[in-house]
Amino acid sequence: MNKFPDLPIYTGFNTPSRMEVDIYDVEVDGDIPADINGAFYRVGPDPQYPPLLGHDIYFNGDGMVSMFRFQNGRVDYKSRYVRTDKFELERKAQRALFGAYRNPFFDDPSVQGQIRGTANTNIVFHAGKLLALKEDSPPIVMDPFTLESQGYYDYEGKMTSETFTAHPKLDPQTGEMIAFGYASKGIDTDDITYYVISPKGEIVHEVWFKMPYAAMQHDFGVTRDYVIFPVVPIVSSLERAREGKPTFGWDGTKDIYLGVIPRRGEARDIRWFKGPNQFASHVMNAFNVGSKIHIDMPVAEGNMFPFFPDIHGAAFDREKADSRVTRWTIDFESGNNTFEHKQLGNMIGDFPRIDDRYAMESYRHGFMCVTDLSKPYDSKRGGSISGMFINCLGHIDFSTGKEKIFFAGPTSTIQESTFIPKSDHASEGEGYLIALVNRHEEMRSDLVILDAQHIDDGPIATVRLPLRLRQGLHGNWVPDSRLNTAKAAV
């Protein structure tokens, strides 16, 4: 029977929508600034069929891409599923065929050996191509205007890893894309493959090397001269997977490592720096001054992912899951194999963003999703919240230490933000912050547009969708000037 289970990740605001939609001239409160012209793409899990095994984690839903197309003060909305192999095979069978997250051992026999990726984690634009990404599989190319899927992409056969990160970094100065794949030879392997991709979309540098232990290498940092791979102990195990347990789990006994390699370095050049057990998932930014390398991430004392439980049986500790922006500093030329820790902010949260024009450089402004439990939430009107409770956006001015908050409201939560500069020549942080707000009481979504340096003033304008967008993962802004490169490539 085609019915989703009565579990928090499939009910309430998280109910799968399974809708592909076109809305022209979406209703707007206020005036969209005249300098916002381009497309905001975001993606998240939206399963088309109930889980094969009766349950799953939120991250394993089929990728649904949304596009907000801004032109001349108006905005159109479009959403389309990413046509992965998984999606097409299940659509044909009219039921789920793939089992648990990153675990092929309980898949239907008819799909053994097929690519299992859902393309639900991030969507980026580079070299005229829109790429839907999931870290266990190759990118899928989508038409940036129609969102039509155009198939998996292996860079003309030059991508030798089975996997490709959902968090590649775009160099705003060179136009290169820096990327990697982990578990490059398959689940529970300890291989990382590092790539430099030219502005034309060609792989021009590839390096294979080993991690200290097999783990979820979700994000990484890139500076002008170095690349940093944070290895935290969300460890993988084929044995657990075969037993039907989560493939990944938290190991609170392991140290963390930062692997550092020069941007055009080889495997022999990598150095590993060790630190005490802690958790970090997403990178805000990274930069270096000579051989001193800084990487900024929301860092927690313990596991932030309860769906990847402690492999030794320890209970999930909610307080240790609180993450705050922290700077890890490495001296690549020193004889030490450790690194320094410095907390930069007091806000609790994740999903950090910056003015991407200052990626890989020393920077002043950071933004992130924030959990502020001092703010009210009316559960009688808004209902219960499943998963990470995010009710605010935060802005940190690293030059002054000042923090500002935008509160979504007493019956709302919020999704990852994205920065839009006012112009190519605007100063750092001069522009807008956009984010989807989940209106739980109304069961629909808004896209708010905020002055990035005055987010506490509230929205300049609000794009009011007449429908609900499930909690997504990541997204990016592409201005018209870059979208035109896709037109030229057609």
Using CA atoms, how far apart are residues 170 and 477, in angstroms rounded to an integer?
12
Pair type for strands 226-231 and 285-289: unpaired
Q: Quick one: three-class SS letters along 277-331?
A: CCEECCCCEEEEECCEEEEEEEEECCCCCCCCCECCCCCCCCHHHCEEEEEEEEE
| Cα radius of gyration (the chain) | 21
Is 282 known as a binding-site position?
yes
Phi, psi of 293 (to 5 degrees): -115, 130
Residue with tokens 């792989």: 203
DSSP alpha helix (H) spans, 169-299: 238-242
Q: What is the DSSP letter of 427?
A: P
Cα 160 from Cα 206, distance rounded (Å): 9
Structure tokens at 291: 């051989």
257 in Cβ contact with 235 (< 8 Å): no
Q: Under the phi-then-psi rule, with left for phi > 0, alpha for psi from -120 to 50, and beta for the rest, what region is 128?
A: left
Identity (one letter) of the amino acid at 387?
A: G
Cα 183–Cα 297–Cα 13 angle in degrees, nearest 5: 80
- CA 104 from centre of chain: 23
Token digits for 468? 């609900």
CA–chain centroid gap for 177, Å, is 16
DSSP 269: G
Q: Among all chains, which residue has been given the structure tokens 């639900």?
A: 120
Measured CA to CA, the distance from residue 219 to residue 203 in angstroms comes to 20
Q: How far apart are CA 310 and CA 314, in angstroms?
A: 6
For residue 396, the cross-strand partners are: 366, 403
State yes or no: 167 annotated in a binding site: yes
Residue stretches of the annotated binding site:
167, 218, 282, 474
Residue stretches of the annotated binding site for Fe cation:
167, 218, 282, 474
